[in-house]
A and B are shown apart, each in its own frame.
Chain A
Amino acid sequence: MYKSWWKILGSVLVMYSTIAGFLASVPPLPILHQSIRNLYFHVPMWFAMIILFTISVVHSIKYLSSSSQSDDNKAVQSVNAGIIFGMLGLVTGAIWARFTWGQAWSFDVKQNFAAIAMLLYFAYLILRNAIDEEQKRAKISAIYNIFAFPMMVVLLFVLPRLSDSLHPGNGGNPGFNAYDLDSHMRMVFYPACLGWILIGCWIYSILFRVSSLEKNK
């Protein structure tokens, strides 16, 4: 965690994917046109968010067996970092929707459920604010976090499959990999995902270290 190679790798990958994302060639497609470049930014945000929330729930489970304050701190800081990525995912999605579907909020199932999943984690943070006693706060919020995680999985991965969505790969729309993700785009897309996940973990580790320094002051 304290080694620096993965941070360098993450920043190089993000820089590479940003530059190549704006300059590399993309397949000419109707409706999407150049906005397809948003794929390099919108999708990695969700991957990073899911990874961060998974880290959080793992630390919450650890907290229940270990009762160590640092596990609790890790859980809340990874939720904080994950929420940043979730909001960015919603914003990039809304901008993309504005230009391809016509409206920033198009009443698309995936959009709605992603927003509700955000509400779950805001509720988690508010629950933490409501309790003063530290041990109690850590325990109760860990329990809510573990309870909320399967709900988030249901919201993001199960329910959208049951109804039609404007997103690619749902409701009769062809998935991206059918024709858009030609080998050129893959060369940028996969590094972008890995890069943003690493940057997310970096943000989380900085948040965690800052707050544990503040606590031990």
Chain B
Amino acid sequence: MQLIKEVKFLIGKELLLEWRSKYALNGVVLYVVSTVFVCFLSFVSLRGVTWNALFWIIMLFASINTVSKSFLQESKGRQLYIYTIASPLALIISKTIYNVFLMLLVTLIALAFYILVFDYVPEDMGLYLLATILGSLSFSTIFTMISAIASKAGNGGMLMAILSFPVIIPVIIMLIKLTKNAVDGLDRSVSLDEIATLLIINVLVAAFSVLLFPYLWRD
């Protein structure tokens, strides 16, 4: 029960900090919107497979930028303060949940703008939405843990990209397959394999994060 209380409190703290500065959300939304616009100006018209692949590439870089801040941005002093008042378990769970919310919001805004700009709607919009939700879930669970590792290594952005790309590639491949089914409007039963694999990867990553983070956090 103590854990749930701490998690709630830490999520509240993240939301409060975000509300005060409104930097992370606005920044990343502007980032995504301008990237989509750059892509629109260079491609002008996109359909099907390329449309889908480009969306996930944009989301990949946007989510690295969003989620990597969760640990990299915090100063040494603040980390020490949190260490004294909360358990590491509560910290990783709260950061992950907060990042899931943030990524969901950003992904949905990005998708809406992307569809609006390119004027193209996938055949099976429901499945596409499910895939984006799954995608933001996997991005945030994986990147939260990797950003914790990168911040402890004390060598920000570069290391974050190197460490996370090999881990995220299987997820991206699964997502592109799943969303391609949605773009083509295939029967939903075809996509069950991909959905199951994504969920399994998520559970795996979440379990390993929870197990390993306490070791990482203790200096």
Contacts and interface: CB of A to CB of B under 8 A. Distances in A.
Q: Do A and B bind?
A: yes
A64 interface: yes
B215 A64 contact: yes
B167 A130 contact: no
Contacts of B215: 64, 139, 143
A155 B208 contact: no
Contacts of B204: 150, 154
A147 B152 CA distance: 15
Interface stretch (A73-81, A94-102, A118-126, A198-206): A118-126
B159 interface: yes
A127 interface: yes
Contacts of B149: 127, 140, 143-144, 147
Interface in B132-176: 145, 149, 152-155, 159, 162-163, 165-167, 169-170, 173-174
B96 to A, nearest CB: 14
A140 B153 contact: yes
Contacts of B162: 123, 126-127
Interface in A108-139: 113, 116-117, 119-120, 123, 126-127, 130-131, 136, 139
A187 interface: no
Contacts of A120: 166-167
Interface stretch (B8-16, B83-91, B105-113, B193-201): B193-201
A55 B177 CA distance: 34
Interface residues of B, number: 28
Contacts of B173: 159
Contacts of B38: none
A119 B208 contact: no
A213 interface: no
A131 B163 contact: no
Nearest to B152: A140
A29 interface: no
Question: Number of contact residues on A: which range applies?
Answer: 20 to 34
Interface string B34-59: 00000000000000000000000000
Given A143-B149, A144-B163, A162-B197, A155 B154 contact: no
A66 to B, nearest CB: 12
B82 interface: no
Given A143-B216, A154-B204, A113 B170 contact: yes
Contacts of B166: 116-117, 119-120, 123, 148, 151
Contacts of A151: 166-167, 170
Interface of B: 145, 149, 152-155, 159, 162-163, 165-167, 169-170, 173-174, 177, 193-194, 197, 200-201, 204, 208-209, 212, 215-216
Given A119-B169, A139-B215, A147-B209, 12 more contacts: A113-B170, A119-B166, A126-B159, A127-B149, A130-B153, A143-B216, A147-B145, A147-B167, A151-B166, A154-B170, A154-B201, A158-B197
24 contacts: A64-B215, A120-B166, A123-B163, A123-B165, A123-B166, A126-B162, A127-B153, A127-B159, A127-B163, A131-B153, A136-B152, A139-B216, A140-B149, A140-B152, A140-B216, A143-B216, A144-B163, A147-B145, A151-B170, A158-B200, A159-B173, A159-B174, A159-B197, A162-B193
